[in-house]
Amino acid sequence: MGDTSYGVRSILDQAREFAECSKLYPCLFQTPTVLFIFANGVGCNLATKIELCGIQVEGERVEDSFFDENELDQNDNDKDEDSNYVALSTINAANIKKVNLDVSAMLAYCSSVTNGSAGKYKFDVAVLAQQAEWELLRPQKPILDNFFQGKKLYCCETAKRNFINIVNTVGGSNERLRAAEFLERVIVLPDDASTEDTDDAEVKEIFNNVQYSIDKALNVGGKIRERSLIIFSFGDRIQAVTVTANEGFVRAAKQQGINFVVFLHESRALTEQKEQAKGSIL
């Protein structure tokens, strides 16, 4: 179910990587379908979690007597106050007046699905269909707008560059326009900037247990990707709360005893091109 010790790749880790890989390597202009076959059966909760990654599951489904039957609803459907997103977010992070934007946050903010298209199209890509359903239940842009209110928005050069590359590659015309308008609100600093480079140089104790402490460091590998490490470390140095959907990175860092100051939200992909090419109006 993914609750493994640091360095052990669970089947859910593999599922997410297969799903991501399939999107990067289309065949005849179509995203390949990923199929996991369990010859000896698979637990119902695990099967559902894998399907939420956009993967088809085959094999006999067996009841999971060793799991709380409400666990799946809490973690993957309701996303309520007991959810992973709330649990992994830093307590009192909303009181910090500086925001460090991860690429995932900027994509979610500018996505077509978070700006009115959820419920208008039927996607043939499972992960997009799932995100559209979640967006109808839990709209993410109002959550982000509320969190951004009264705060200064920052991002590092690496985050800006990757965000622009993604938008220019898979974004639609309206998503590109939103991205340009949103970046006008954001203060972009070098990757190695520090709190002295911001308007607020006050040192806050909440940042004492994260990446740039004397005896702690993170190495690239597994869920700790180089780009994410640069972005999260930038937020640490300028002492800003990092707004992100990268739950895997935050969890992997916690397993090594490093607690970045974060506000987590649900992931949303850019969907406008898919709406035009593969989505059908409902």
Q: Are 68 and 90 contained in the same domain? A: no
For 117-149, the pLDDT digits (tens) are 888 888 888 888 889 999 998 899 999 999 999
Contact present, 112 and 271 (Cβ < 8 Å): yes
Q: Are 158 and 185 contained in the same domain? A: yes
Q: Are 56 and 170 contained in the same domain? A: no
Greatest C-alpha distance within the chain: 59
Q: Are 121 and 228 contained in the same domain? A: yes
Q: Are 176 and 62 contained in the same domain? A: no
CA dihedral 71, 73, 78, 79 (to 10 degrees): 40
Q: Are 192 and 53 contained in the same domain? A: no
Instruction: Please say which residue of 59, 77, 95 terminates a domain.
Output: 77
- Residue 134 sits in a domain whose CATH number is 3.40.50.1010
Q: Are 94 and 17 contained in the same domain? A: no
Strands, E assignment, the chain? 35-37, 42-43, 56-58, 61-62, 98-101, 121-122, 152-156, 186-189, 241-244, 262-264, 280-281
**How far is it, in rounded angstroms, from Cα 13 to Cα 44?**
18
Residue span of the structural domain in which 61 resides:
11-77
Classify residue 6: in a domain, yes or no.
Answer: no
Q: What DSSP character marks residue 30?
A: B
Residues 6+ apart with CB under 8 A from 159: 101, 102, 103, 106, 231, 234
Instruction: Please say which residue of 19, 47, 77 terminates a domain.
Output: 77
Q: Are 126 and 63 contained in the same domain? A: no
Q: Are 151 and 68 contained in the same domain? A: no
Q: What is the pLDDT of residue 84?
A: 58
Q: Are 256 and 172 contained in the same domain? A: yes
Classify residue 134: in a domain, yes or no.
Answer: yes
Instruction: Please say which residue of 77, 92, 122 terminates a domain.
Output: 77
Q: What is the pLDDT of residue 81?
A: 35
Classify residue 158: in a domain, yes or no.
Answer: yes
Q: Are 20 and 147 contained in the same domain? A: no
Q: What is the pLDDT of residue 25?
A: 87
Q: What is the pLDDT of residue 280?
A: 54
First vs last C-alpha separation in the chain: 34
Task: Please list the ranges in the chain whose pLDDT falls under 50.
Answer: 5-6, 65-83
Q: Are 135 and 255 contained in the same domain? A: yes
For the chain, the domain total comes to 2
Q: What is the pLDDT of residue 213?
A: 57
Q: What is the pLDDT of residue 1?
A: 55
